[in-house]
Amino acid sequence: MDPATLIPAAEAIPSPWLWFEVLLVLTFAVHILFMNLTVGSAIIALASRLGFGKPGGRELADELGHRLPTTLALTVNFGVAPLLFVQVVYGQFLYTSSVLMAVFWLSAIAAVIVGYYCLYIHDAKHEAAPPLSLLALILSLACLLYTGFLLANNMTLMLRPAAWTAYEQNPNGTILNLSDPTLWSRYLHMMLAAPAVAGLYVALIGGKKRRPDWITLGLAWFTRLTMVQILVGGWVLMSLPREVMLGFMGRSPLATGLLGAGVALSLAALMAGIQKKPTQAAWLTFAAVVVMCATRAQVRLLTLEPSSAPRPCR
């Protein structure tokens, strides 16, 4: 079977596709920043409650726990726009991959609800029932990591029409993209970024509350994980299909430029963190996230080319 025949016909879109692509990148960048704050803060709060880090970790865990329900709500709300934009531009791919993994995809809704409720329990019971609070935090973090894993599955499965033929053997909506060499590197790259960005968040909170120990701890999370991120980023690049990888190695000036800019901004943010300049590191990280979201969009365009050629307006 020719996998190209499985791609549904694309619908015309109401305005030039580039508008939707730019809005997709910008709104996704906002969403991913709040996701990093939520998942990363939960990881740092859990580590602090378990005794990893310096004295004062319990206070930091309480501070982050109080903020987590709000950051998760913002993550979900700011995730709606990029999901809608990706459906407009790449609906013929995303709808198909969503149907193929429908059971898991729908379970993400329940996972987010459970995770959200557990964050409230964690915040409300940290003094009255510490064991229950800790259990709620662990369960919430597990739900968030599970949801991220499903998102990574769907966003990579939509790029692989050749994998859609698995429907012939499994029409039950339980297909996952586990054989994709890009899945694990992309998922790890995203999840490692969460505590790194949240570390900057902790450092900024520490500066506001005049807690130098929080600044030191937050910058330690940021700098160490950013160093690991650079290595994982190389894994992501090498795991891409050859033609796509070559696009980022000079064949596509735009893709190559975006990758170079993202690496340069990440290194600049790392240096600012090492020099204990959290505000400067935060701004550089914000810029790096926006550029990396644009780089991610290039991965999608190059992978789907020519199947996802820009469509005419209505």
pLDDT at 312: 47
Strand partners for 313:
13
What are φ and ψ of residue 13, in 5° steps?
-110, 155
Q: How many helices (H) and strands (E) does the chain have?
A: 9, 0
Structure tokens at 32: 């991913």
In a domain, 312, yes or no: no
In a domain, 38, yes or no: yes
Q: Residue 64, Cα to own-chain centre: how many angstroms?
A: 20
In a domain, 309, yes or no: no
Per the CB < 8 A criterion, the answer to whether 310 and 17 are in contact is yes
Per the CB < 8 A criterion, the answer to whether 243 and 273 are in contact is no
Between CA 148 and CA 156, with CA 153 as vertex, the angle to 5 degrees is 120
Place of tokens 């939509």: 158
Which of 156, 157, 241, 163 lies closest to 190 in space, CA to CA? 156
Per the CB < 8 A criterion, the answer to whether 284 and 272 are in contact is yes
* CATH code for position 197: 1.20.1630.10
DSSP string, 72-126: HHHHHHHHHHHHHHHHHHHHHHHHHHHHHTHHHHHHHHHHHHHHHHHHHHHHHTT
pLDDT at 3: 65
Q: What is the DSSP letter of 7?
A: S
In a domain, 43, yes or no: yes
For the chain (length 314 residues), average pLDDT per consecutive 10?
69 83 95 96 93 72 94 96 92 92 96 96 89 94 96 94 90 92 93 95 93 93 94 93 93 94 96 95 96 95 73 49
Strand partners for 13:
313
Residue range of the domain that includes 242: 3-304
Structure tokens at 268: 């600049």
In a domain, 310, yes or no: no
In a domain, 282, yes or no: yes
In a domain, 109, yes or no: yes
DSSP string, 207-267: HHTT-HHHHHHHHHHHHHHHHHHHHHHHHHHHHS-HHHHHIIIIISHHHHHHHHHHHHHHH
What are φ and ψ of residue 120, in 5° steps?
-65, -40
Separation CA 105–CA 219 (nearest Å): 35
In a domain, 313, yes or no: no
Which of 11, 14, 30, 16 lies closest to 293 in space, CA to CA? 30
Structure tokens at 297: 């969009």
Separation CA 28–CA 66 (nearest Å): 25
Which of 285, 278, 288, 283 lies closest to 218 in space, CA to CA? 278
Per the CB < 8 A criterion, the answer to whether 287 and 23 are in contact is no
Domain count, the chain: 1
Cis peptide before 306 (omega within 30 of 0): yes
